[in-house]
Amino acid sequence: MSAERLLAAGVAAAAEAVREGRVSARELVEVALARCGEDAHGALLHVDAEGARAAADAVAAARRAGGAPGALAGVPLAIKDNLCTRGVPTTAATRLLEGWVPPYDATVVARLREAGAVIVAKANLDELAMGSSSETSAFGPVRNPLDPSRVPGGSSGGSAAAVAAGMTPGALGSDTGGSVRQPAAFCGVVGLKPTYGRVSRRGLVAFASSFDVVGPIARTVRDTARLLGVMAGPDPEDATSADAPVEAYEAAAEEGVSTLRVGVLRASLDAAEPGVAARVVESLGRLVSAGATLVDVDLPHADRALSAYYLLAPAEASSNLARLDGMRFGPRASAPDLRGTHEATRAGFGAEVKRRILLGTYALRAGYRDQLYGRAQRVRTRVARDYEEAFARCHVVAGPTAPTVAFPLGAHAGDPMAMYQADLETLPASLAGLPALSVPAGAAEDGLPAGLQLVAPAFAERRLFAAGAVAHPT
């Protein structure tokens, strides 16, 4: 099989071909670099051709020397540009980090490299991961490869677009309120938000530290599982990473669902576009045909998740982004005094980032903290309890990943609330810190893909891969 066909076949197929000597890592990388060079969707911010070729040659040298090539031997990947990459620019799509080159790799990036993966490019995103459409990047919007007049979703839109366009067979994104799952649904690929703590956050440019999770994107459930298997595990340099065993995720994709009870969120289906709901129901039908049982469940406080999230996450962002002051990272504006320097430098933030910083700062003001931030935290607890009650009746909870298909570029540019509504279905799992998988459910409105979202209890990613592989067989 040619390198072109192997890249289309996916992460696992490409890695096995390199391990068996049927193709070289350099051949795969050259095809990926050529495709990245033809990026017409604004998906990528930086292509590291020199570094990718050197890494591919190192994989080949290790194989010739008899070393173990690794689970991702020679596989070209794109990395969301809010993950640090040693010697390669990391901008998080903001002017305030323009030109910054980290001296170290994020832990997840280092683990990918150790497994033989080749990092070919850094992917575009909403500025500082704040957005639901990948239109707020300081370096230009991302377009959906399936329809360039539409958004790819956000904030990991560049990562999802790179996979959907065939530039790389896999990519990494980050998910704070749905930023891996919603772009995966809009672009017709698979995306996973792992359990909070399952994957190290070291080297991730922080947005909201109690929500942020690094997650994989690929074309198949099996490939997504393989990527998680490499990334997952405790990290002594990240106090929020969990000391939980890394399981055989890839094998779970072959287990079937004969004993699985799937909780269906009927309210979410009713609220979705008709075509989206119909495709999700068809995906649920595939689970039933394979032996799963459907039961109706409800998340009584899910309707408050949007309001709670947009108080909690901006509050954390207003604290995290204080470090972008022009002193340690990126360009610094000139002013007569320190305050003026800070103000002039931070004027470089885009409108959406400024909006969220202001909202977060307001929520934390004296006299408002308990009324706003405190109440939002209580909603977060109630949503987590809703899931606990649902899981007493089922193994996974299912519904649409997003209520609509990808919307046109600019459709919500002047209406932040309409933009935030795109995260309605992904936010509850984020508030609860639970693992959630989005798989393609088929073509819906305007021939664009719908997504099925599956949510499991904490650290039960294996259930997601078992169910996802049946719902989206490849």
- pLDDT tens-digit series, residues 224-237: 999 999 999 999 99
pLDDT confidence of residue 348: 83
Q: Quick one: residue 159, left, alpha or beta (phi over 0 = left, psi -120 to 50 = alpha)?
A: alpha
- pLDDT tens-digit series, residues 281-334: 999 999 999 999 999 999 999 999 999 999 999 999 999 988 887 777 777 777
User: Which amino acids are annotated catalytic?
Assistant: 80, 155, 179
- pLDDT tens-digit series, residues 100-114: 999 999 999 999 999
- pLDDT tens-digit series, residues 412-443: 988 988 999 999 999 999 999 999 999 999 99
pLDDT confidence of residue 342: 73
Q: What residues form DSSP beta bridges with 442?
A: 450
d(CA 387, CA 299): 7
For residues 402 and 276, is the Cβ–Cβ distance under 8 A?
A: yes
pLDDT confidence of residue 408: 98
pLDDT confidence of residue 150: 98
Q: Is the pLDDT of residue 242 over 80?
A: yes
Domain ranges of the chain: 3-234, 261-301+386-471, 306-370
Q: What is the mean pLDDT of residues 448-460?
A: 98
- Residue ranges of E strands in 48-106: 76-80
CB burial of residue 49 (10 Å; 0-12, 13-18, 19+): middle
pLDDT confidence of residue 204: 98
pLDDT confidence of residue 414: 86
For residues 314 and 420, is the Cβ–Cβ distance under 8 A?
A: no
55-87 burial, b at 16+ Cβ within 10 Å, e below that, comes to bbeebbebbeeeeebbbbbbbbbbbbbbbbbbe
- pLDDT tens-digit series, residues 352-405: 999 999 999 988 887 777 788 999 999 999 999 999 999 999 999 999 999 999
CB burial of residue 51 (10 Å; 0-12, 13-18, 19+): middle
Q: What is the pTM of this model?
A: 0.97
| Proportion of the chain above pLDDT 70, given as a percent | 100
pLDDT confidence of residue 1: 78
- pLDDT tens-digit series, residues 59-93: 999 998 888 789 999 999 999 999 999 999 999 99
Give the amino acid at 384: A
Confidence category of residue 343, pLDDT binned at 50, 70, 90:
confident
- Phi, psi of 234, deg, nearest 5: -65, 150
For residues 391 and 436, is the Cβ–Cβ distance under 8 A?
A: no
Helix (H) or strand (E) holding 215: strand 213-218
d(CA 57, CA 118): 10
Helix (H) or strand (E) holding 386: helix 375-391
Q: Which residue has the tokens 């470089």?
A: 348
Give the CATH class of 3-234.
Answer: alpha beta
Q: Is the pLDDT of residue 203 over 90?
A: yes
Chain centre to alpha carbon of residue 18: 27
pLDDT confidence of residue 366: 75
